[in-house]
Amino acid sequence: MRIGSILENQSSEKRVAVTPEIVKKYISLGFEVCLSENYGLHLGINDDQYIQIGAKISKDEAEILNSSDVIIQLGMLSDKKVINIGEHKTLIGVLDPYNNKEKLENLAKKKINLFSLELLPRITRAQSMDILSSQANLAGYKAVIESFANFEKAIPMMMTAAGTVPAAKVLIVGAGVAGLQAIATAKRMGAIVFATDVRMASKEQVESLGGKFLTVEGSENLETEGGYAKETSEDFKIKQEELLSETLKKIDIVICTALIPGKKAPLIIKENMINGMQAGSVIYDLAAIQGGNTAFTELDKVVERNGVKIMGESNILNKLPVSASNLYAKNVFNFVDNLFDKESKKININLEDEIIEKTLIK
């Protein structure tokens, strides 16, 4: 069987789905691996490195998509490219079924098996395949680095003969995987860190990393069975706004990470809250791609309101493409390994397997 992958649209996606290390693993399973020309060149991986470990390189992307039994990508392919996928093939990636419904329905008519990895269940057996966690970890780290680079004061407390420089105060909104990594990174760099989340289970995790958890009085645990945040009640929103408004007046840097799968990001930091913040403060909004957690977030722009910088990028992982590709490629290999029947040497769509059942787009 053949596994194929072609370059993503380089203007929006610099990660790759197959790294040289992972080529060896696919070959050991019995796959032939075929990649498009200059597949990893932008990451410092030339075609010879892939060829030396057994991969085939082709200039013809349409032929790769048509002849590969399993196609592995990051995001959904363009209309121009997706029509080249042959019938009865398997496409694996972050297919975003909420926004690509029509395109995926058309592919399903061609009897193409579609697996969208952001739908993986939050179970122990799926942890090695969990692309959301591995990528969010890097995003949380990088968001802190980017916001600190745009903050025009020192981060740690410094005691000098000329006086003391106070430590920066950082607020993390949303203590999921990205938020927890942001807390750990900010703490390591000497900041005083606060965090808030609607899931009460996050309190212990935040405090274990040295952060102070801000709790809305009388709040209930708003967590789904899958471990994601639920939408909050109006009463909770009012209480949360009051708590945030007062807290933000003393905060230097805010990292927003609050997302609800398949829905617009919740608006958490409103205009009046930003107006109350200190000039020179920085907000980095990791939820920008889904509309943002602030009133003024704009994709791929730094917006300034009353001296507060608000940053939001469509793909922060383009700034860490090598690390992000390495983790993504390992996640996908583990998924394929679970999907592949070693005896028959075929893809086995076992719907009794929760991992396969949840990620298969029917």
Domain CATH for 233: 3.40.50.720
On average, the pLDDT of the chain sits at: 93
49 in the same domain as 182: no
Q: Which residue has the tokens 């610099």?
A: 14
The reply to whether 288 falls in a domain is yes
Residues 172, 202 contacting (CB under 8 angstroms) = no
Q: What is the pLDDT of residues 132-157, one digit of tens each?
A: 999 999 999 999 999 999 999 999 99
Q: What is the pLDDT of residues 41-80, one digit of tens each?
A: 999 999 999 999 999 999 999 999 999 999 999 999 999 9
The reported pLDDT for the residue numbered 308 is 98
Q: Which has the minimum average pLDDT: 36-40, 56-60, 85-89?
A: 85-89
Residues 13, 79 contacting (CB under 8 angstroms) = no
155 in the same domain as 60: no
188 in the same domain as 83: no
Residue 135 structure tokens? 């990528």
Q: SS3 sequence, 14-49?
A: CCCCCCHHHHHHHHHHCCEEEEECCCCHHHCCCHHH
Last residue of a domain, one of 318, 333, 351: 318
The reply to whether 126 falls in a domain is no
- C-alpha span between 19 and 59 (Å, rounded): 18
Number of domains in the chain: 2
Domain ranges, residue 28? 2-119+321-359
141 in the same domain as 278: yes
The reply to whether 128 falls in a domain is no
The reply to whether 168 falls in a domain is yes
The reply to whether 127 falls in a domain is no
Which positions are catalytic? Answer: 122, 127, 130, 133, 228
- C-alpha span between 170 and 282 (Å, rounded): 10
Q: Which residue has the tokens 């410092």?
A: 44
